[in-house]
Structure formats: C-alpha cells, structure tokens
Amino acid sequence: MRVIKGKPLMDGFIRALGMMSGTSLDGVDAAMIETDGIRIAGFGRSAYAAYGDNEAHVLHAALGRWQGGEGVAEAAALSVAAHAGLAADFPEAELVGYHGQTLAHDPKGRGTHQAGDGAALARALGRPVVWDFRSEDVRQGGEGAPLAPFFHWACAHWAVGQGHLPQAPVAFLNLGGVGNITWVDPSAAGPEAPGACLAFDTGPANAPVNDLMRARLGRERDEGGALALSGTVSESVIGGFLAHPYFTRLPPKSLDRDDFSSLSTAVADLSDADAAATLTEATAAAVGAGMAFMPRPPATLLVCGGGRHNRAMMAALARRVAAEVVPVEAAGLDGDMIEAQAFGWLAVRVLRGLPTSGPETTGAPAPVCGGRISYP
C-alpha cells in the first residue's frame, strides 16, 4: 500500500492489524492479516496482552455506562493505552482496525457504546486507524452486532481454497462474553450477497461463568471447564432460561453482555460446581435453540473464542447440536485470534467503502459500510 501525506491509496493487498478486547474483559488480542477486503492473502503474527487486576477493575466498573458516565473516560483512556502498547510491537502494520471496548449495547434504544478514541490511537501509533465500527449500522436501523460474520464468509472461502473445508455451508460459533453464530455459504459471490450469511447472538457465553468464578472464587475463569465438569446441571434453571422470549425472536438479533443477568441470580443458591455446570449448559442450550434458524443444517460447527478450550462447554455443545462440533483450528484457522483478524479485514473494507454488515447479519435494511478512519 502506497501512502501519500499520511493517507493510504486503496490498491492491492494491505497488511492490516486487527485489535479486539471483548466483553469477557480478559485482555487485548492483536493479529495481522493481509487482504484486499475480500480475499485473504495470508495471516501474520499475533499477540495477546492480559489486563492486570487494576485495569480489569476499571473496565468492569464502567460496564453498562454510556458516554459521560462515571468511570467511562478512565476506561476509554485505558483502552487506548493498552491497544497502543500492543500495536507498537507490529511495525509492519500499514493500517489498524480498533474495535474499542464495548461498555453498553442497546441498539433499539440508546445505541451502542465502544469506549476508546481511535483518533488518539492513530496519533499514538503514527498510522491510520479504523474504528467505531458499529454506530453507523445502528443509525441505519441494524443491531450493530455481530460484525464478524462477513469475515467468517472470507475465512470459509479461504479454507475451501486451502482444502480444509468442503464447498458446503458451515457455521462459526464464537464464544466470548456473549455467544454469536454465523451460518455461511462459501460458494456465494461475496458476504453481502443474498443468502451468503446469516448471523445473530445466541445468548450469554463466557461472561456468566467468568463473573461467577470471579465473585465466588477470585479466579478469572473456569479453566478447562474443570469446575463445571464436577457439578450437576439444574434442569429447572435451564428450562426457565430457555423460556426467555429472545430465543423465539427471529434473527438477526443481538445482546448486551448483561441482558441475561437474571441467569446469575437463578444459580445463586447452587453450589459453586453446580452453578458453573448450569451456566455452561445454558450457553450450549442457547446455541442449540439458535440452530433452528439456520437456512440449512451445517455439517460442522466451528467453535472460536475461549469457550472452545472448556471441555464442559464442548461436551454440552455436542449434546445440544446436531452437527460435528470442532475447534475452528480444524479448518486451519486460529480460534484465539479470529475476531482480532476480523477487525483487520473489516478495516480494509471500510477503507475501500465495502459493506461491513447487512440485512442478514445485523438486520440493517441494506448493506452498511460502518467505521471511521482517523489519520495520524
């Protein structure tokens, strides 16, 4: 990519750094990708920087708050500093995709709030930064989430070309703080083509279990699902959970991290092990409910995010889903970095004015090119 007066020209493949800090609030992922915003030419280096206890406390304190709320400025400044520190290790990046830190998400009400100033990050890095990916989609009537689905189409298209997947529909399940699923047809002409993608948030994922572990045991997560595997699922809690109207609502649809806070209340009287088992099963049950909306049953469910390391979670998914359930590495992809890679790929699409979301992924009435570009 050639650069004139700090502004990139939009030709050929671009080396982009995607950066993501999810609602699980564990740290920042960064991953290089080379792309023209449609095809994936190759994947590059990646890195992860965990938040320290004080940083995690600042972010947790700002959850659910909007611009100007108590603690938001501190969380935004922390986000920029943490991302700048990690991005400095990637001098080869010509463009940076910065998601920011989601603090609140209410697409049919106040909108969506990702804390962090991309212009400040661009100044700190001396490189162009694409950011604020979700707001335009919400302004145009979409849910603003999930945004990885178009990239999932690109990943499936790449994996077919590499011989890792057959030319057939497949589903990607990302288990971060909230779960989201994408059904993709890699034979479609592009991710915005009708019938190429269907995506929606399935329900809570790692957030309730992580919050339980932090509150009761002072740990960040149920490592490997060990605690959940030692417990017994409360079927009455699962039944009440699945009665929530969200699960019969047609997609596209999206959630805030705390939309199912009642689930934590429902397990309050259970032992630590039984509560962990029940919250883990709830995640899988939500995914199982979501499979009813797939255009055609996928043969394979490719699991991304931290949840794929949780043996209790993967076993529960295998019970609840009528498809082969495997980590996304089975398709030659990196399940820890796929969301970070997505925002590098999306950054290039924004640079080129290509759609980043559409009717079948966020419910926007037409394809939307979201995101802002800040130059240093």
297-331: buried (b, 16+ CB within 10 Å) or exposed (e) per residue? ebebbbbbbbbbbbebbbbbbeebbebebeebeeb
273 plus 298 within the same structural domain: yes
In the prediction, which pLDDT does 374 show?
Answer: 98
pLDDT tens-digit profile, the chain (376 residues): 455 345 655 568 999 999 999 877 899 999 999 999 999 999 999 999 999 999 999 999 999 999 999 999 999 999 999 999 999 999 999 999 999 999 999 998 999 999 999 999 999 999 999 999 999 999 999 999 889 999 999 999 999 999 999 999 999 999 988 898 999 999 999 999 999 999 998 999 998 999 999 999 999 899 999 999 999 999 999 999 999 999 999 998 888 778 898 999 999 999 999 999 999 999 999 999 999 999 999 989 999 988 899 999 999 999 999 999 999 999 999 998 999 999 999 999 999 999 999 999 999 999 999 999 999 9
In the prediction, which pLDDT does 253 show?
Answer: 87
In the prediction, which pLDDT does 24 show?
Answer: 78
Phi and psi torsions of 287, nearest 5°: -65, -45
Phi and psi torsions of 281, nearest 5°: -65, -35
314 plus 352 within the same structural domain: no
293 plus 232 within the same structural domain: yes
CB 100 within 8 A of CB 79: yes
Structural domain of residue 248, as residue ranges? 164-331
277 plus 297 within the same structural domain: yes
82 plus 179 within the same structural domain: no
The answer to the question of residue 87 being in a domain is yes
How far is residue 314's CA from residue 316's CA, in Å, rounded to a whole number?
A: 5
The distance from CA 244 to its chain's CA centroid, rounded to whole angstroms, is 23
115 plus 171 within the same structural domain: no
72 plus 124 within the same structural domain: yes
285 plus 237 within the same structural domain: yes
How many domains does the structure of the chain reveal?
A: 2
The answer to the question of residue 152 being in a domain is no
CATH code at 99? Answer: 3.30.420.40
How far is residue 231's CA from residue 277's CA, in Å, rounded to a whole number?
A: 5
318 plus 342 within the same structural domain: no
Residue with tokens 């309730």: 208
The answer to the question of residue 60 being in a domain is yes
278 plus 171 within the same structural domain: yes
23 plus 41 within the same structural domain: yes
The answer to the question of residue 155 being in a domain is no
| Integer CA distances (angstroms), 95 to 263, 295, 340, in order | 40, 35, 13
3 state SS of 40: strand
The answer to the question of residue 54 being in a domain is yes
Boundary-marking domain end, from 331, 351, 366: 331
The answer to the question of residue 81 being in a domain is yes
CB 332 within 8 A of CB 339: no
225 plus 359 within the same structural domain: no
> 338-351 and 149-161 helices cross at what angle (nearest 10)?
100
Residue with tokens 């009440």: 240
The answer to the question of residue 126 being in a domain is yes
The answer to the question of residue 154 being in a domain is no
